[in-house]
Structure 1
Amino acid sequence: MKESVIEKMLHINTSKAETRLDNVRYYSRYEPTPYDALETLFKHYTVSKKDHFVDFGSGKGRFSFFVNFFFNCACTSVEIIEEFHNKALLNFESYKKRNPGAIDKLFYVNEYAEKYEVSKFENKFYFFNPFSVNIFIAVVNQIIKSVESFGREVEIILYYPSDDYINFLERRTAFTHVMDIPSKDFDKDVRNRFSIYRFGESTDSLEEEFTLNINIKSVLYQETILCKKTKDK
């Protein structure tokens, strides 16, 4: 689907790539993820309305509107550049008229990514090379800290991933590589892909383990009672 068609459908304006007019170092220019790339990602990557994304270096908010409109997901957009943050807010004002239910699911934060405190309900984190690897390391450490405090399974989604990002995740963290999803022109440039990494343990598996342990203890208890009754006879 053409960019202009989706923009019109969502009542937003996020297409124009822009160079920032500021002095904030280590943060990249604004360049939105192409819609055809996002369509490819979600053909192969399953999400649910229970998921809460965080888009770091979110610019004008394109990713948040896409995942909310098509999958009813929540998303927090974190953007340091006030100019882009304000444009995201304008887009949100227009978008929520199209989709009023988004009011409780979309949030926009004007803050340094490395200072953003990850919430316990946020479980999917999106990056399109928004800043230097040093900032990326600080952000990932915040994610890990959150998981250690509030156990859950989280995933990092990298679009057009840099080698520095991947080297850090694979060599210096417990994140494991889940899959790569090739995007358009992957045959010409292998970086045209999404790389997905996972860390932590899902609450579903924890609940299953808890139930299993309870059942095992129940069986052992019943066996103990039976043996005691047999001996008493």
Structure 2
Amino acid sequence: MTDQETDKLLHIRTEGTIEILQSSAHYNRYEATPYSVLDALFDIYPLRSTDHLVDFGCGKGRVPIYSVYRFGNFVTGIDLNGRLLQEAFINLADFRASRKRFRGSIEFEQTTAETYEIQAEQNVFYFFNPFSVEIFKTVIGNVLDSVERDKRPVDIILYYPTTAFVYYLEEQTPFERIEELPIPALSIDNDDERILIYRYE
């Protein structure tokens, strides 16, 4: 199915790339992860209903809604931009209204990623280059602080990762790469078109 067809199936509207003036130059434009990428990711990395996914830079809510649709898990979407989150709340309401049964839970929160307090139950963190590596380092530090307080394995999922993100995780943190998934259908000879999954136990 195309992205438009999957949006229609879920009764949401998440397509497009939007340039919105952010309050910080460290935050990037909105661009939704293609559904084909989410299909490929979750085919090899199925979530459990008890997993709590955090989507940093959730935009209009595609990743949270899609993951709950497939797995009935828990999701928190974080975004700084109020206009995008307004659309995410509309999408969530439309998605809920279209389902006779609704498993899982979705919450959206408008805040900066670096000040968001990681919760003890959260164990999967998704990034599609929503911000600079400086903010990414702070967020990963917050994740590790949370693990120190509440011991649990946690995973980091990077889609289309920059070299700086990869270098930081692999050279300066205890996370270890457990999976690499190229996405050849979307781009030819582009090494960045991939998903990397890291784990810290």
Q: TM-score, normalised by structure 2?
A: 0.95
SS of the residue corresponding to residue 6 of structure 2 reads helix
Structure 1 position 14, deviation (Å): 0.4
Inter-partner Cα distance in structure 1 for 2:28 and 2:102: 28
SS of the residue corresponding to residue 77 of structure 2 reads strand
Structure 1 position 179, deviation (Å): 0.9
Aligned amino acid, residue 144 of structure 1:
L
Instruction: Evaluate the alpha carbon distance shift between residue 16 and residue 141 of structure 1 in structure 2; reply closer, same or farther with a 3 A threshold.
Output: same
Aligned amino acid, residue 198 of structure 1:
R
Determine whether 1:149 maps to 2:142. no
After superposing the two structures, state which structure 1 stretch, 93-102 or 108-117, moved more.
93-102
Structure 1 position 111, deviation (Å): 0.3
Inter-partner Cα distance in structure 1 for 2:76 and 2:99: 17
Matched residue, 2:107: 107
Deviations 1:181-227 (A, max 9, x none): 11134642011110000012xxxxxxxxxxxxxxxxxxxxxxxxxxx
Inter-partner Cα distance in structure 2 for 1:102 and 1:20: 32
- Alignment of structure 1 residues 136-215 onto 2, 5 Å: 136-183=136-183, 184-185=185-186, 187-200=188-201
Matched residue, 1:4: 4
Inter-partner Cα distance in structure 1 for 2:61 and 2:85: 8
Instruction: Evaluate the alpha carbon distance shift between residue 98 and residue 198 of structure 1 in structure 2; reply closer, same or farther with a 3 A threshold.
Output: same
Inter-partner Cα distance in structure 2 for 1:55 and 1:14: 15
Which structure is higher in strand share? 2
SS of the residue corresponding to residue 30 of structure 2 reads coil
Structure 1 position 177, deviation (Å): 0.7
Aligned-residue identity in percent: 34
Determine whether 1:27 maps to 2:13. no
Higher Cα Rg, which structure: 1
How many residues align? The count is 200
Inter-partner Cα distance in structure 2 for 1:27 and 1:103: 32
Q: Contact 2:17–2:31 at 8 Å: present in 1 too?
A: yes
Q: Contact 2:68–2:103 at 8 Å: present in 1 too?
A: no
Structure 1 position 104, deviation (Å): 5.8
Matched residue, 1:121: 121
SS of the residue corresponding to residue 43 of structure 1 reads helix
Inter-partner Cα distance in structure 1 for 2:20 and 2:101: 32
Instruction: Evaluate the alpha carbon distance shift between residue 189 and residue 145 of structure 1 in structure 2; reply closer, same or farther with a 3 A threshold.
Output: same
Q: Contact 1:67–1:73 at 8 Å: present in 2 too?
A: yes
Q: TM-score, normalised by structure 1?
A: 0.82
Which contiguous aligned blocks of 4+ residues in structure 1 show a shift greater than 4 angstroms? 100-104
Q: Contact 2:73–2:104 at 8 Å: present in 1 too?
A: no
Unpaired segments ≥5 residues, structure 2? none
Aligned amino acid, residue 7 of structure 1:
D
- Alignment of structure 1 residues 72-91 onto 2, 5 Å: 72-91=72-91
Q: Contact 1:79–1:110 at 8 Å: present in 2 too?
A: yes
Structure 1 position 46, deviation (Å): 2.5
